[in-house]
Amino acid sequence: MQPETSLGPGDRVPNFQLPDQANDRRSFYHEVTGAPILLLLCPRLTSPSARQLLAGLVARQAEIAKAGLQVFAIGGEGVVANATVAAELSFPYRVFSDSQGQVLAGLMAGADVEARLLLLDGNQRVVESRDGPTDADDLAPLLAIAAAMGRAWDTAETLGRAAPILLLPRVFEPDFCRELIGLWEAEHHEGGFSTGQANTYDPNKKKTLEHVIQDPALRRQISFTLARRVAPELAKVFNYRAPFQFDAHIVMCYQPERQDFFGLHRDDLRPENQRRFALSLNLNDDFEGGELHFPEYAPDGYKMDAGTACIFSCPLLHEARPVTKGRRFVLTSFFCDSDRQAPGGAQQRRVQL
């Protein structure tokens, strides 16, 4: 996984404002409803391949409705041209016009293609993408994924309590998770923790085997991915827009035969390089036990899928419960106050938003 400009799974499509086929300027952020989203990007909606794709969407309206999918298109031509195509094909979905190409340039960066299909979750984060030219057959797998996402909501529970945490899927891809586990397998040591004044080792409070990421290129890669995929959520969910830097990136392993655990603690003890948000990202999920627990708010435990990050404010009291079967691999890091002044801080602010 290399730093990239092209959108990939886990990246969030930012808000934009563009005129639709009725020439009403609309905000994408205020059009979405929390349902999965299919976003068609096409510099020329009047081209034969684009018209074929639009016709395929029209033909699959029943499947789209059954999947609970919202559909939008962005065309790079003017409002009149895009509206004409939509009317000729009886296209029932909103078509945005980006005649200046500014939005399309960002969403199609790195892709020299006629069209791109993005399947987004309800939080505007990329789940899958298809580059074209495409045809109606490319819609089938995306609709199947969207339908599965919809079925997941059918099992939703009504909750009366929850810790104030953010669970964010698809932050790391499966291959990258396995790569980080491989680094731990090659080298690890007994882990310690910070008391606020110094790092120490106390097996009565914490017992894990750890690998600290040392390679500068890999550290930058992890930091870039976290800034790109997590920081926009900090701005939206926690209204946190300050410049930041990262603490060490550490791969930790919890094993039942060692009775590994991390007892109740808070992560805001250090007076310098103040930690603001903690990140705990599961690199695998084939284990039992090992839940995160926030006793100030509820007795429940949280177990995330591989690639999913749990982000929470560092003052929250929490613990990692022992694993009862298998091994739990997790990457931990912290969003900290930045000690960099502008323009470095300004650059970090641009990255996260």
261-289 pLDDT, tens digit per residue, is 999 888 887 666 689 999 999 999 999 99
With beta carbons less than 8 A apart as the criterion, state whether 215 and 251 touch: no
Provide CATH 2.60.120.620 ranges for the chain: 166-352
Question: By C-alpha distance, which of 292, 281, 286, 280 is closest to 322?
Answer: 292
Tell me how far the alpha carbon of residue 319 is from its chain's centroid: 24
Q: Which two tokens stand for residue 320?
A: 């990692």
Cα torsion 163, 169, 172, 177 to 10°: value is 80
**DSSP secondary structure, 294-324, as one string:** -TTT-S-EE-PPTT-EEEEETTS-EEEPPEE
Q: Which two tokens stand for residue 274?
A: 């103040």
End-to-end CA, the chain: 21
The per-residue pLDDT for 273 is 64
Residue extent(s) of CATH 3.40.30.10 domains in the chain: 17-154
**Which pTM does this prediction carry?**
0.84
Mean pLDDT for 227-233 is: 94
On the question of pLDDT at 148 being above 90, the answer is: no
What is the band of 198 on the pLDDT scale with cuts at 50, 70, 90? low
The CATH superfamily holding the domain 166-352 is q2cbj1_9rhob like domain (2.60.120.620)
pLDDT value for 5? 57
Which numeric CATH code is attached to 17-154? Answer: 3.40.30.10
Mean pLDDT for the chain overall: 88
pLDDT, greater one: 71 or 109: 71
